[in-house]
């Protein structure tokens, strides 16, 4: 470790960690490890018991546009390892009969008290029906932080990303109650033209938010649509 000091996002001073290049570790892996170890949000997530640094993105989005409430039915798509779900649980009282939290991911996710965890590929045609089966009523919030693994072909990657956002929105339009909220991760300067048009038709307010915890060098941003017209 070097003795260079930094201030973490939680206001604490932290040490900058230097990573030695191990013979068998690829340079890209070394860079990733170095970034993780020196990322104040990774440190904060560990300190505060969040499963991922992504938790702070949802916290920051909800600070700008507060939509998470005590009585709330929430579907969290692309939920693993569960940082966003933990933030949802900070607000939602899952004991309330009109509340429910469903977390879905193509990858396994550790259980969380009060949450229905589903391991399922959301791009499968049967995925929405499987979700309907577990829902106990109309949904107030649909979240999508889904990110397909990059194939390395820019156009293909972009199409897959847009495909998942469109599927998430189709689902949201079917399950949301009037006044409901849709939040989705989008890329490359925001939701594409057709998607944005549809969002503006169906919701009272549509906004793009790049939370401070989203890495500056990442093209990700979030579209937040509130006031579903029903």
Output the six-digit token pair for 179.
Answer: 């006044």
User: For the chain, how many helices (H) and strands (E)?
Assistant: 7, 9
Output the six-digit token pair for 211.
Answer: 């939370």
Does 148 participate in binding ligand SAM (rule CB under 6 A)? yes
Closest CB to ligand SAM among 21 and 123?
A: 123
**Burial class of 110 by CB neighbour count within 10 A (0 to 12, 13 to 18, 19+):** exposed
Query: Catalytic annotation on 185?
Result: yes
- Select from 43, 45, 55, 88 the one that contacts ligand SAM (CB under 6 A): 55
The answer to whether 146 touches 107, Cβ cutoff 8 Å, is no
Does 54 participate in binding ligand SAM (rule CB under 6 A)? yes
**Burial class of 222 by CB neighbour count within 10 A (0 to 12, 13 to 18, 19+):** buried
Does 105 participate in binding ligand SAM (rule CB under 6 A)? yes
Cα–Cα distance between 39 and 54 in angstroms, integer? 12
Size of the site for ligand SAM (CB under 6 A): 22
Q: Looking at 8-16, 20-28, 115-123, 187-195, which segment touches ligand SAM (CB under 6 A)?
A: 115-123
R_g of the chain computed on alpha carbons: 18
Output the six-digit token pair for 156.
Answer: 């293909």
Closest CB to ligand SAM among 140 and 145?
A: 145
Q: Looking at 128-136, 143-151, 174-182, 198-206, which segment touches ligand SAM (CB under 6 A)?
A: 143-151
Q: Looking at 29-37, 51-59, 192-200, 208-216, which segment touches ligand SAM (CB under 6 A)?
A: 51-59
- Select from 44, 74, 82, 199 the one that contacts ligand SAM (CB under 6 A): 82
Q: Which single residue is written with the structure tokens 């594409």?
A: 192
Q: Any idea which residues carry the catalytic annotation?
A: 185
Binding site for ligand SAM (CB under 6 A): 51-52, 54-55, 78-84, 104-107, 121-123, 145-148
């Amino acid at each position: 470790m070097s003795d260079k000091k930094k201030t973490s996002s939680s206001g604490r001073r932290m040490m900058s960690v230097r990573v030695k290049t191990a013979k068998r570790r690829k340079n890209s892996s070394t860079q990733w490890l170095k970034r993780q170890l020196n990322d104040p949000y990774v440190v904060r997530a560990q300190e505060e018991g969040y499963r991922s640094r992504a938790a702070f993105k949802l916290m920051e989005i909800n600070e700008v546009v507060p939509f998470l409430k005590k009585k709330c039915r929430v579907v969290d798509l692309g939920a693993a390892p569960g940082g966003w779900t933990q933030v949802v649980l900070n607000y939602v009282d899952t004991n309330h009969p009109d509340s429910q939290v469903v977390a879905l991911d193509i990858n396994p996710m550790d259980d969380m008290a009060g949450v229905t965890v589903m391991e399922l590929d959301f791009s499968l045609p049967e995925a929405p029906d499987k979700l309907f089966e577990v829902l106990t009523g109309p949904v107030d919030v649909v979240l999508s932080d889904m990110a397909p693994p990059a194939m390395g072909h820019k156009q293909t990657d972009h199409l897959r990303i847009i495909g998942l956002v469109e599927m998430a929105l189709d689902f949201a339009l079917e399950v949301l109650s009037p006044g409901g909220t849709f939040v989705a991760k989008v890329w490359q300067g925001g939701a594409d033209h057709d998607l944005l048009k549809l969002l503006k038709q169906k919701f009272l307010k549509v906004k793009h938010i790049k939370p401070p915890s989203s890495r500056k060098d990442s093209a990700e941003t979030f579209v937040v649509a509130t006031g579903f017209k029903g």
